[in-house]
Structure 1
Amino acid sequence: MKIELHEISVRDVTKGYIDSAENGVVGYDGKLNIRPAFQREFIYKDKQRDEVIRTIKKKFPLNVMYWVKDDSGNYELLDGQQRTISVCQYVSGDFSIDHLYFHNLTETEQQQILDYPLMIYICEGTDKEKLDWFKIINIAGEQLTAQELRNAIYTGEWLTEAKKYFSKSQCPAYQIAGDYLSGSAIRQNYLETAIKWIADRDGIEIEDYMSRHQHDTNCNELWLYFQTVINWVKATFPNFRKKLMSGLDWGIYYNKYGSVAYDPKVLETRIVELIKDYQNNYITNQKGIYEYLLDGQEKHLNIRAFSPEIAESAYEQQNGICPKCGKHFKFEEMQADHITPWSKGGKTTPDNCQMLCADCNRRKSNI
């Protein structure tokens, strides 16, 4: 693999700068792809963006950047997208610093910025060599997410289309499901979640799904599936509670229980009861309410166990006799049990506690 250091001026890098939905983000007179498929969206905050320009104005050195040269003689920006876009946007007049746009500067000040040399390593080699190099330099910079790294491998028209739905600020996925999702669209969290859900439906891993569909011309299957999941959630649980519902694996739930007919009114009544149970410390995991309602497994709720005081009181009232088998046991040989099962509305209160021997409690749990 060949790697060489070049000095390329701001003037040359910003020449022909375009940022559009149709043509992507390009510069260097159309020869530099500033945002290849594996790159994240522009995430610099204003302060970070402004500091790039102030560094150039003061003639201080910026960190080196990395480009990859392809077989056609064009380039992809491998590392330094945020700095490059900051410079291009300022020269294009997209923002001001200290109330001064680029066009407000004196000619001398403008020339000083345009003549500023950017230090750029240009790499040539095989796809595998470039990807290996990319992973190495990523360690030193701001870490890419797992999905951003996947995007570097499974590039193509399918990924480009999928990013339109899941990877932009105010993207369609955000519009219909932003409250139900965690993370950030521009950091690829929405895209990762959607692929995770549909891959689970197919019984495969995220990488397998992306590999199978890499060369598809559209992402209709993924987008339609995602909409179906969100519509199912909204119909099944129409009363939205952000604290409880945001970030849950709704697609995984849909894959398992989407064909079951639930009564939203009945579910809502139970949700209200379960929230009260949480407030009364009968359950300790409020986020598990929805999964519990779908599969009935109490483990999702982390039901609070009977206190030692309640258990000892029940043991004394029973005189150490197990009410199931009628045999006497020592206290440590018995287990506190809900007389009316918690799943059927039984509470973790003294009047609903009984002490069973281990065998009887195990048999009851298996019924």
Structure 2
Amino acid sequence: MGWFDKDVWHGPTVIGIYETQPEKEQAVFRTILGSLALLAYAIVAVPHLNAARINTMLVMAVYVAYGALTWLTVRVHPRTSLPRLMLTTILDQCLVFTALALGGRAALPLLFIVFWFLVGAGCRYGKRPLILSCAISVAGLTGLMIWQPWWQHNYPAGAALLLAVVASSLYLFVFVNKLERRAATDPLTGLLNRASLERTVGQTQPLAKPANSTDALFVIDLDGFKKVNDSFGHSAGDDLLQQFAQALLALSRRGDAVARLGGDEFVVFARQVAGHTGATAIAERIHVATESIRFAAGNPVNVSASIGVYLRAEAARTQKLDVTRAFRLADYAMYSAKARGPRQTVFADEWAQMESA
């Protein structure tokens, strides 16, 4: 998972047209809200101008210009950029603390922005940028208490704010972590959901050497699940799904990914599989584990599995996996297995060859 978890979690944007462009929305807010804050501050400060207030307004003006520049940059280069995200996260807090350093007491109305940026970093991009924003805030407050005259004389206030920043960041970290987990997992079984699985498979690095192993994608459908649901109710069906999920997790190896796509359809993505022989052995273990489930919510059940298997072709072992194609072919194979009757495993080779022809 990268420094900025933009694919895992970011809050819905406020401006509808930027629903998939949180960076651009953030740049718009910098410019518009920064301008409004500067205007409001100027209205109050102009009748009582002094050097500290002038310095504060100058830094605020620089922030508005910086906001406009980030908007222009994102407009010209709309793709998410890790260096740009890191730089803007740092600069947001640095400019606030520059105003506090130059303005002293006159810049105190800007303190709320520190927390605004903490929340924005965490909710837009995840835990790591929140940590970065918090670190800059702690460093900034520490620097103020050491070198800035007003903050030196009001050390207890600075210490209290520093603790507030750390406590708020910890709380937000836990909150965002829970949201990320909910967004990434199936609520019933705790397995990965489809989006998380596709991301995991898509981020898989190609095998360094096309040795006697490859990647395998198993799409599994439970035979008899509907009968359990209809006969004993949803509680029995849910218990069956949870038992099967735990069985798949118990069978999985380190580096494998297990997910529930929805209903009674599950997926196992296995790496370093010894071709058809290794995949067949894994499928057989899944069949045995499925048939070992005898009761669901105290009711006797008889279930089996239909399994479709996609094996990465030998020629493609050193290339990035085509996730959409892999899922599609494994799905075809699973439906073919289901049509043949219970406890069947079908490989997707036939459909893969037809697509390649």
Task: Give the TM-score normalised by the residue count of structure 1.
Answer: 0.28
More helix by share: 2
Task: Give the TM-score normalised by the residue count of structure 2.
Answer: 0.29
Q: Which has the larger radius of gyration?
A: 1
